Amino acid sequence: MALDALLGRCRAWKHKHLLGTRDLSREEILLVLSLAEELPGLKDELPLRGRRLFNFFVEPSTRTKTSFSLAARRLGADVVDFSPATSSLTKGESLKDTARTIESMGVAFTAIRHGASGAPAFLSRLVGSSVINAGDGANEHPTQALLDLLTMKERLGKLSGLRVALVGDIAHSRVARSNLWALRKLGNEVTLVGPSTLVPAHLGAPVSHDLDRALREHDVVMMLRLQLERQQAGLFPSVPEYVRFFGLTRERLASLRNGTIIMHPGPMNRGLEISAEAADSDRSVILNQVANGVWIRAAVLLLLSQVGA
Stretch that binds ligand CP, among 3-11, 158-166, 181-189, 261-269 (CB under 6 A): 261-269
The verdict on 61 binding ligand CP (CB under 6 A) reads yes
State the Cα–Cα distance between residues 118 and 114, nearest whole angstrom: 9
For ligand CP, the closer of residues 178 and 260 by Cβ is: 178
The verdict on 143 binding ligand CP (CB under 6 A) reads no
Could you tell me which residues come within 8 angstroms of residue 110 by beta carbon, excluding any fewer than 6 positions away? Answer: 53, 54, 56, 99, 102, 103, 123, 127, 129, 130, 131, 132
Choosing from 25, 49, 50, 62, the residue that interacts with ligand CP (CB under 6 A) is 62
Q: How far is the CB of 224 from ligand CP (least distance, A)?
A: 10
The verdict on 84 binding ligand CP (CB under 6 A) reads no
The verdict on 227 binding ligand CP (CB under 6 A) reads no
Q: Per the omega criterion (within 30 degrees of 0), is the bond before 267 cis?
A: yes
State the Cα–Cα distance between residues 45 and 41, nearest whole angstrom: 10
Stretch that binds ligand CP, among 10-18, 35-43, 88-96, 259-267 (CB under 6 A): 259-267
The verdict on 265 binding ligand CP (CB under 6 A) reads yes
For ligand CP, the closer of residues 85 and 309 by Cβ is: 85
Cα dist from 83 to 92, 115, 169, 236, 239, whole Å: 15, 15, 28, 34, 32
Stretch that binds ligand CP, among 58-66, 186-194, 228-236, 300-308 (CB under 6 A): 58-66
The verdict on 64 binding ligand CP (CB under 6 A) reads yes
State the Cα–Cα distance between residues 72 and 25, nearest whole angstrom: 24
Stretch that binds ligand CP, among 27-35, 59-67, 94-102, 200-208 (CB under 6 A): 59-67
Please state the separation of Cα 111 from the chain's center in Å. 12
DSSP per residue, 208-223? ES-HHHHHHH-SEEEE
The verdict on 135 binding ligand CP (CB under 6 A) reads yes
For ligand CP, the closer of residues 106 and 267 by Cβ is: 267
Cα dist from 281 to 83, 108, 174, 248, 299, whole Å: 35, 40, 26, 12, 29
Residue ranges in contact with ligand CP by CB under 6 A: 61-64, 135, 141, 144, 265-267
